[in-house]
């Protein structure tokens, strides 16, 4: 079945398209209606009905645009956290332990030639592409996971954008505006630096510790200075939501790609006489 199918029975949308695009579009429309409720409420019933119908039609393409944007802006962060999920020396190993145990990750790693954080993403996406071409029915049975992952990434982007607009529109004075802007940019810069250091193989724990220390100190200082309370509490809320959804996005992506590799192995094992390399060459 195609991802979007129109028939006499209605419109059928796959889980992947529903979660990654349509649900995101519906969320944007909901935010739009909340923000412009006074204007929308003052219109006639016919205009309301037409506007809702038009917004419904626009929800999926709007969600598709946000999905693509979130990949270009946050995709590198998703890849980074997925790579951390593969490693054994991070806190995330406690969150990925059940997935690794259920799908026998160590056996998968040996089967695909020792998976590590440097090759996990490229190997899994490669076999994902092959499965889309040669075994579409298998991959469609598990694409709900990557659809959910993309939805979480989209919500993380929406959270950051809403925070930026809130600063721009509702900052009570210039001091609050500039402080909020600094607090908004600071974590993003730190994340980029951490990623750069990690790619060079350098220890990132001191920088992460410094960032957490700054956050704690800011919250302590805000207790004694009333002017700092609003921007710092807003910062806490924004980035708490952001990191929760980004980590959820990456953990779900990791689960999906492990399932991809596990399904690939099972398909190869159906014919015991064909090795993984021969199976890939036959795909090509």
Q: What is the pLDDT of residue 279?
A: 54
Integer Cα distance of 158 and 245 in angstroms: 11
Count structural domains, the chain: 1
Q: What is the pLDDT of residue 1?
A: 43
The answer to whether residue 217 is domain-embedded is yes
The domain of 100 spans 66-283
The answer to whether residue 27 is domain-embedded is no
**270 has pLDDT over 70:** no
Is the CB of residue 232 less than 8 Å from the CB of residue 222?
A: yes
**Average pLDDT, rounded, for the chain:** 80
Q: Across residues 114-143, what is the average pLDDT?
A: 84
The answer to whether residue 29 is domain-embedded is no
List 5's β-bridge partners, or say none: 12
Is the CB of residue 264 less than 8 Å from the CB of residue 114?
A: no
Integer Cα distance of 116 and 123 in angstroms: 10
The answer to whether residue 19 is domain-embedded is no
The answer to whether residue 224 is domain-embedded is yes
**284 has pLDDT over 90:** no
The answer to whether residue 268 is domain-embedded is yes
The answer to whether residue 172 is domain-embedded is yes
**255 has pLDDT over 90:** yes
Q: What is the pLDDT of residue 181?
A: 78
**272 has pLDDT over 60:** no
Instruction: Give which of 7, 35, 233, 257 is closest to 265, Cα–Cα.
Output: 257
Q: Across residues 215-224, what is the average pLDDT?
A: 80
pLDDT digits (tens, 9 = 90+) for 99-110: 888 888 888 888
**283 has pLDDT over 50:** no
Q: Across residues 1-28, what is the average pLDDT?
A: 69
Q: Across residues 148-161, what is the average pLDDT?
A: 91
**252 has pLDDT over 90:** yes
Q: pLDDT grade, residue 53 (50/70/90)?
A: confident
Integer Cα distance of 148 and 15 in angstroms: 9
The answer to whether residue 236 is domain-embedded is yes
């Amino acid at each position: 079945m195609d991802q979007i199918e129109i028939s006499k029975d209605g419109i059928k949308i796959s889980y992947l398209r529903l979660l990654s695009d349509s649900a995101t579009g519906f969320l944007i429309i909901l935010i739009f209606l909340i923000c412009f409720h006074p204007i929308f409420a003052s219109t006639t019933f016919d205009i309301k009905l037409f506007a809702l119908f038009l917004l419904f039609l626009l929800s999926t393409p709007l969600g598709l645009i946000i999905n693509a944007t979130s990949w270009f802006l946050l995709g590198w962060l998703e890849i980074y956290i997925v790579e951390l999920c593969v490693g054994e020396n991070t806190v995330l190993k406690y969150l990925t332990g059940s997935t690794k145990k259920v799908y026998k990750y160590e056996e998968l790693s040996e089967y695909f030639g020792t998976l590590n954080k440097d090759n996990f993403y490229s190997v899994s996406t490669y076999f994902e592409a092959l499965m889309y071409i040669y075994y579409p029915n298998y991959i469609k049975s598990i694409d709900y996971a990557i659809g959910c992952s993309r939805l979480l990434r989209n919500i993380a982007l929406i959270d950051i954008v809403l925070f930026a607009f809130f600063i721009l529109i509702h900052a009570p004075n210039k001091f609050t505006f500039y402080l909020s802007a600094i607090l908004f940019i600071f974590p993003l810069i730190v994340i980029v630096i951490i990623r750069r250091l990690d790619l060079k193989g350098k220890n990132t724990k001191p920088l992460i510790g410094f960032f957490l220390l700054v956050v704690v100190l800011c919250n302590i200082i805000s207790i004694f200075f009333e002017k700092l309370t609003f921007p710092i509490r807003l910062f806490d809320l924004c980035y708490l939501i952001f990191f929760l959804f980004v980590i959820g996005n990456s953990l779900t992506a990791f689960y999906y790609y492990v399932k991809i590799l596990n399904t690939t192995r099972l398909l190869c094992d159906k014919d015991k006489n064909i090795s993984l390399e021969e199976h890939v060459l036959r795909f090509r």
